[in-house]
Protein backbone atom coordinates (compact mmCIF):
# COMPACT_ATOMS: atom_id res chain seq x y z
CA UNK A 1 0.00 0.00 0.00
CA UNK A 2 1.31 3.44 -0.96
CA UNK A 3 1.72 5.75 1.99
CA UNK A 4 3.61 8.75 0.62
CA UNK A 5 2.16 12.23 0.35
CA UNK A 6 3.72 14.63 -2.15
CA UNK A 7 3.71 18.35 -1.38
CA UNK A 8 3.96 20.96 -4.14
CA UNK A 9 4.89 24.63 -4.02
CA UNK A 10 3.76 25.74 -7.48
CA UNK A 11 5.34 28.98 -8.64
CA UNK A 12 5.52 30.74 -11.97
CA UNK A 13 9.12 29.62 -12.62
CA UNK A 14 9.57 26.54 -10.44
CA UNK A 15 7.74 23.83 -8.53
CA UNK A 16 9.19 22.84 -5.19
CA UNK A 17 8.53 19.20 -4.31
CA UNK A 18 8.65 17.52 -0.90
CA UNK A 19 7.41 14.19 0.40
CA UNK A 20 6.39 12.59 3.67
CA UNK A 21 5.15 9.24 4.83
CA UNK A 22 1.50 9.53 5.85
CA UNK A 23 2.26 7.70 9.10
CA UNK A 24 5.27 9.73 10.22
CA UNK A 25 4.27 13.21 8.97
CA UNK A 26 7.94 14.20 8.66
CA UNK A 27 8.52 16.01 5.32
CA UNK A 28 11.75 15.80 3.34
CA UNK A 29 12.83 17.61 0.18
CA UNK A 30 12.61 15.87 -3.19
CA UNK A 31 13.53 18.35 -5.94
CA UNK A 32 12.80 21.66 -7.61
CA UNK A 33 11.40 21.48 -11.13
CA UNK A 34 11.85 24.31 -13.60
CA UNK A 35 8.47 25.15 -15.11
CA UNK A 36 8.01 24.05 -18.74
CA UNK A 37 4.24 24.50 -19.07
CA UNK A 38 1.34 22.80 -17.31
CA UNK A 39 1.20 19.72 -19.56
CA UNK A 40 4.94 18.98 -19.32
CA UNK A 41 5.05 19.85 -15.62
CA UNK A 42 2.17 17.48 -14.85
CA UNK A 43 3.82 14.63 -16.79
CA UNK A 44 7.02 15.11 -14.77
CA UNK A 45 5.06 15.29 -11.50
CA UNK A 46 3.11 12.14 -12.43
CA UNK A 47 6.42 10.33 -12.91
CA UNK A 48 7.54 11.48 -9.45
CA UNK A 49 4.24 10.14 -8.08
CA UNK A 50 4.99 6.73 -9.59
CA UNK A 51 8.62 6.73 -8.47
CA UNK A 52 7.81 7.72 -4.89
CA UNK A 53 4.68 5.53 -4.64
CA UNK A 54 2.47 8.50 -3.83
CA UNK A 55 -0.99 7.98 -2.31
CA UNK A 56 -1.92 11.67 -1.79
CA UNK A 57 -0.94 15.04 -3.30
CA UNK A 58 -1.03 18.36 -1.44
CA UNK A 59 -0.78 21.54 -3.49
CA UNK A 60 -0.01 24.82 -1.79
CA UNK A 61 -2.59 27.51 -2.53
CA UNK A 62 -1.15 31.04 -2.52
CA UNK A 63 -4.38 32.81 -1.60
CA UNK A 64 -4.46 36.59 -1.56
CA UNK A 65 -4.43 38.20 1.90
CA UNK A 66 -8.21 38.62 1.68
CA UNK A 67 -8.62 34.90 0.93
CA UNK A 68 -9.37 35.35 -2.78
CA UNK A 69 -7.77 33.19 -5.46
CA UNK A 70 -5.52 35.35 -7.61
CA UNK A 71 -3.46 34.40 -10.65
CA UNK A 72 -0.94 32.31 -8.69
CA UNK A 73 -3.68 30.35 -6.92
CA UNK A 74 -5.43 29.66 -10.24
CA UNK A 75 -2.14 28.33 -11.63
CA UNK A 76 -1.66 26.06 -8.60
CA UNK A 77 -5.24 24.78 -8.93
CA UNK A 78 -4.72 24.16 -12.66
CA UNK A 79 -1.63 22.02 -11.93
CA UNK A 80 -3.46 20.18 -9.12
CA UNK A 81 -6.53 19.43 -11.23
CA UNK A 82 -4.47 18.24 -14.20
CA UNK A 83 -2.35 16.04 -11.92
CA UNK A 84 -5.46 14.54 -10.32
CA UNK A 85 -6.94 13.81 -13.75
CA UNK A 86 -3.74 12.15 -14.99
CA UNK A 87 -2.88 10.11 -11.88
CA UNK A 88 -6.34 9.53 -10.33
CA UNK A 89 -4.72 10.39 -6.98
CA UNK A 90 -6.53 12.54 -4.43
CA UNK A 91 -5.38 16.17 -4.42
CA UNK A 92 -5.94 18.54 -1.54
CA UNK A 93 -5.09 22.22 -1.35
CA UNK A 94 -3.37 23.84 1.61
CA UNK A 95 -3.20 27.56 2.33
CA UNK A 96 0.42 28.56 1.81
CA UNK A 97 0.35 32.34 2.05
CA UNK A 98 3.50 32.54 4.18
CA UNK A 99 5.23 29.25 3.36
CA UNK A 100 8.20 30.81 1.55
CA UNK A 101 8.75 33.32 4.36
CA UNK A 102 8.58 30.50 6.93
CA UNK A 103 10.93 28.37 4.83
CA UNK A 104 13.44 31.22 4.50
CA UNK A 105 13.39 31.79 8.26
CA UNK A 106 14.00 28.09 8.91
CA UNK A 107 16.85 27.97 6.40
CA UNK A 108 18.41 31.12 7.88
CA UNK A 109 18.15 29.58 11.36
CA UNK A 110 19.92 26.50 9.98
CA UNK A 111 22.80 28.73 8.87
CA UNK A 112 22.19 28.93 5.12
CA UNK A 113 23.05 32.26 3.53
CA UNK A 114 20.74 33.81 0.95
CA UNK A 115 22.74 32.37 -1.99
CA UNK A 116 22.43 28.81 -0.68
CA UNK A 117 18.78 29.39 0.24
CA UNK A 118 17.91 30.11 -3.41
CA UNK A 119 18.92 26.55 -4.33
CA UNK A 120 16.49 24.90 -1.88
CA UNK A 121 13.85 27.50 -0.95
CA UNK A 122 11.11 25.96 -3.13
CA UNK A 123 11.66 22.49 -1.66
CA UNK A 124 11.69 23.99 1.84
CA UNK A 125 8.41 25.81 1.09
CA UNK A 126 6.88 22.51 -0.08
CA UNK A 127 7.98 20.99 3.25
CA UNK A 128 6.29 23.86 5.13
CA UNK A 129 3.10 23.25 3.11
CA UNK A 130 3.15 19.55 4.01
CA UNK A 131 3.75 20.33 7.69
CA UNK A 132 0.78 22.72 7.70
CA UNK A 133 -1.38 20.08 5.99
CA UNK A 134 -0.47 17.47 8.62
CA UNK A 135 -1.22 19.95 11.43
CA UNK A 136 -4.61 20.76 9.88
CA UNK A 137 -5.44 17.06 9.60
CA UNK A 138 -4.47 16.44 13.22
CA UNK A 139 -6.69 19.31 14.35
CA UNK A 140 -9.83 17.81 12.80
Strand runs (DSSP E) across the chain, as ranges?
Answer: 4-10, 14-21, 28-34, 54-61, 91-95
Q: What is residue 79's DSSP assignment?
A: H
Q: What is the mean pLDDT of residues 108-113?
A: 71
Looking at the whole model, is its pTM more than 0.85?
yes
Which structural domain, as residue segments, surrounds residue 75?
4-139
Q: What is residue 106's DSSP assignment?
A: H
For residues 75 and 69, give the distance between their C-alpha atoms in angstroms, rounded to a whole number. 10
Proportion of the chain above pLDDT 70, given as a percent: 89
Q: How many domains does the chain have?
A: 1
CATH of the domain at 123: 3.30.420.140
Q: What is the pLDDT of residues 37-62, one digit of tens each?
A: 999 999 999 999 999 999 999 999 99
Amino acid sequence: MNSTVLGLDVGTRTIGVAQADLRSAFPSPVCTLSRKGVKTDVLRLAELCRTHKVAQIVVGMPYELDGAEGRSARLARQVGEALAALTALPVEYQDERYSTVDAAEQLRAAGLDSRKQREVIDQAAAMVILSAWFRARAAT
